[in-house]
Amino acid sequence: MSDQQSMGAEAHQEHQGKPRGVHLVGSVPLRDAEAVFATTTSILGGRLRRIPDGETGVRSNWIRWQGDFLERSPQVEAVPPDTTAYAPRSSMRLRPGVSPDEIAFESLGYFDAARTSHAVFSRLQRETVIPANVRFQVSLPTPIATITSFFPPRDQAAAEPAYERALMRELDQILETIPHDELAIQWDVAIEFAILEGVNRGYLTGRTNVMELLVDRLIRLGNRIPSAVQLGYHLCYGDLGHRHFKEPEDTTTLVAVANSVSAGVARPINWIHLPVPRNRDDAAYFAPLRALTLHPQTELYLGLIHLHDGLDGAQRRIAAAQRAIADFGVATECGMGRRPPETIPDLLRLHVEVADPVI
């Protein structure tokens, strides 16, 4: 970008004002949940409406930890991982002769993690470390994400309903244990975009109505959350090695999914998060955002914060986004779990430099 273009971008951003609010997608690679709550609150302050527990420890690499739980099913057997895959991980298949009705997955670990972390969150709120109006965020994968990541296409149609039943059981336990006015649930939507972009060769690949099939799932998951609980969607193109599984051409597909989900979910959607690649500070990437038709109360967060180019890069992307849409908050593209822990404070402070408080 030339000096003249940079000056124009800065002037445009100054005219529009700063984005409002910061969203934490999920993983934050600090020591434990208490460190995540204390660190993010102390740095980001009134810019947060909700805080995840950081998905620390075995949960740091999104759904990879689910393999240990899936393998406990007597209907499942492990197979060597595909080393050529975008995200090589343990994989498995159904044992010969298993019928869909027989498949059962027991504990998946999400309820246990949420219950343990919420106890820490509640204590820190009582101690006024965390403001009283900030919610506890639980990020959950969509069932199709886990199933298509671990099972071969021939087994996915049979395994998906069983995993969804198990995940909904965990969700019900979370809803029964954590007060609804303290809770926020985020559905992590990544594999869906791999399917839509033709990268994932799962059992839905090639179907003419694949968008409808995927959106129907996301709507069902959204409607599953009680109205007193906040609801959000994190839309994602992957972050393994800080690379996408496919570089999005622009926000067209992201907007199509966000609009369709917004049209179908009967309850309020509190936030939607979209990724912004670090090399996209051009108007073309953001132009489809003009067609967003979200719920009136839905906050939009753009994942345009990248540590590698710091404040200058964030401001360029903000200025480009503001040419298409005026009201949004900021975030990283994906979780921070694949980042060295010592970089987290600087990354959080970068959010502070570009975003105004919301509370």
**pLDDT at residue 112 in the model:** 97
Helix, strand and coil percent figures for the chain, each rounded to 5: 45, 15, 40
pLDDT at 4: 41
pLDDT digits (tens, 9 = 90+) for 142-167: 999 999 999 999 999 999 999 999 99
Q: What angle do CA 327, 247, 213 make, to 5 degrees?
A: 80
pLDDT, tens digit, for every residue of 282-305?
Answer: 999 999 999 999 999 999 999 999
pLDDT band per the 50, 70, 90 thresholds, residue 82: low
Q: What pLDDT, on the 0 to 100 scale, is given for residue 265? A: 98
Distances (CA, A) of 108 to 144, 145, 147, 169: 15, 14, 13, 9
Distance CA 262, CA 75 (A): 37
pLDDT of residue 13: 43
Is 122 within the bounds of a domain?
A: yes
The whole domain housing 80 covers 3-354
Please check whether residue 81 lies inside any domain of the structure: yes
Q: What is the number of domains present in the chain?
A: 1
Phi-psi region of 97 (alpha: psi -120 to 50; beta: other; left: phi over 0): left
Band of residue 91 on the pLDDT scale cut at 50, 70, 90:
confident
CB atoms closer than 10 angstroms to residue 59:
20
359 domain residue, yes or no:
no
pLDDT for 105-148, tens place per residue? 889 999 999 999 999 999 999 999 999 999 999 999 999 999 99
What is the length of the chain? 359
Q: What is the mean pLDDT of residues 30-58?
A: 96
- Check pLDDT > 80 for residue 72: yes
The long-range contacts involving 239-243, CB below 8 angstroms and separated by at least 24 positions, are 239/333, 239/334, 239/335, 239/338, 240/86, 240/87, 240/338, 241/338, 242/338
Q: CATH number for the domain including 118?
A: 3.20.20.210
185: pLDDT strictly greater than 50: yes
Better-scored residue on pLDDT, 184 or 61: 184
- Extract the runs of DSSP E, i.e. beta strands, from the chain: 50-52, 76-79, 91-94, 135-141, 183-189, 230-235, 271-275, 299-305, 329-332
Strands 91-94 and 76-79: antiparallel
- Residue 127 CA to residue 3 CA, distance in Å, equals 48
